[in-house]
Amino acid sequence: MSINLSKGLLIEYALSLPPLALQFEFNPENLSRTRSVNIVTGNAPGTRGGYDFTLPSETPRVAQGVTPNPEQGTITILIDASDRMGDPNLPGHLIASEFGIEPELDTLRSMVEPKSQGPGGVQMLASLGLGGNKAFQRDEHPSVLLFIWGTHILPMFLSSVQVDETAHMPSLRPYRANVTLSYQIIEGNNPFYQVEKVRQLVGAAMNLAGGISTSFSASFGVSF
């Protein structure tokens, strides 16, 4: 049975030296997304885990002390230079034949290393010590990344990169590896997250249109 792989892209949302971007084959079955909330209800009298309620209009009071956490998750990707190494007509053949997937792995490592801001707003690895003279230009901060896959464009931070090298060249440079990326979505007032939330609302509306509202009405006598 064949597996349809689609392209995924990680790209740094910044003016950076060097420019950081990684395109990879991605199997959607290997995407994990987790949404959680912190529930702190205090000492509400006469109830467990929340406040008493009867009407839908009372639910904001019920949810006092409950705060959502930023969405987190993991993706597993395969980085493989075998095809490029074996076919001189493919783009990147010479680099892959000499260095395997080291350039891709170096890109991922650079994405999680702290950056500083140099002249002109250009970001660079803080370890190079090439930041500007101003105090804010010497601050170190992680990369803001965009994970692009299908209809999703998710702004995120990479929280960890785990590389399992599975094949090496005679020079001991890797040419195939499984990479697990842990991430946290950057939620709030940015254009990418706002578009994702609109897409999510549209999907939820489609789910209602598919008959969920009918079955809910039959069960509870509530219509939408």
Tell me the per-residue pLDDT of 157-215, one tens digit each, with 9 for 90 and over.
Answer: 999 999 999 999 999 999 999 999 999 999 989 999 999 999 889 988 888 886 655 55
- DSSP state, residue 142: P
Considering the domain architecture, whether residues 84 and 180 belong to the same structural domain is answered as yes
Q: Which pLDDT value is given to residue 155?
A: 95
Residues 108, 160: one domain? yes
Looking at the domain assignment, is residue 12 inside a domain? no
Structure tokens that stand for 100 in this block? 């395997």
Classify residue 211: in a domain, yes or no: yes
Q: Same domain, yes or no, for 199 and 140?
A: no
Judgement on whether residues 113 and 207 belong to the same structural domain of the protein: no
Least confident of 95-104, 130-139, 202-211: 130-139
Phi and psi torsions of 125, nearest 5°: -60, 130
Number of domains in the chain: 2
Greater model confidence, 3 or 198: 198
Provide the whole-model pTM: 0.76
State residue 59's pLDDT score.
82
pLDDT at 130: 60
**93 lies in the same domain as 196:** no
Largest CA distance in the chain: 74
pLDDT score at 50: 67
Considering the domain architecture, whether residues 202 and 133 belong to the same structural domain is answered as: no
> Would residue 83 be called left, alpha or beta, if left means φ above 0 and alpha means ψ between -120 and 50 degrees?
alpha
Q: Same structural domain for residues 170 and 193?
A: no
105 and 173 both lie in a single domain:
yes
Please indicate, yes or no, if residue 151 is contained in any of the structural domains.
yes
> What φ, ψ does residue 74 adopt, rounded to 5°?
-140, 150
CA 177 to chain centre: 19
* Structure confidence by residue, pLDDT tens digits, 36-76: 988 876 665 556 666 778 888 888 887 777 888 999 999 88
pLDDT at residue 136, as a whole number: 52
pLDDT at 93: 94
For residues 195 and 152, is the Cβ–Cβ distance under 8 A? no
Task: Please give the residue range of the domain that contains residue 212.
Answer: 187-217
Please check whether residue 51 lies inside any domain of the structure.
no
What's the sign of the alpha-carbon dihedral 145, 26, 193, 35? negative
Residue 84 inside a domain? The answer is yes
What is residue 139's predicted lDDT score, i.e. its pLDDT? 72
For residue 87, being part of any structural domain is answered with yes
Are 62 and 48 in contact by the 8 Å Cβ rule? The answer is no
| The pLDDT of residue 3 is above 60 | no
Output the pLDDT for position 117: 77
191 lies in a domain?
A: yes
Q: Let me know if residue 17 belongs to a domain.
A: no
200 and 106 part of one domain: no
Q: What is the pLDDT of residue 147?
A: 92
Considering the domain architecture, whether residues 121 and 202 belong to the same structural domain is answered as no
Tell me the C-alpha distance between 55 and 53, whole Å: 6
Same structural domain, 179 and 139 = yes
Strand partners, 167: 176
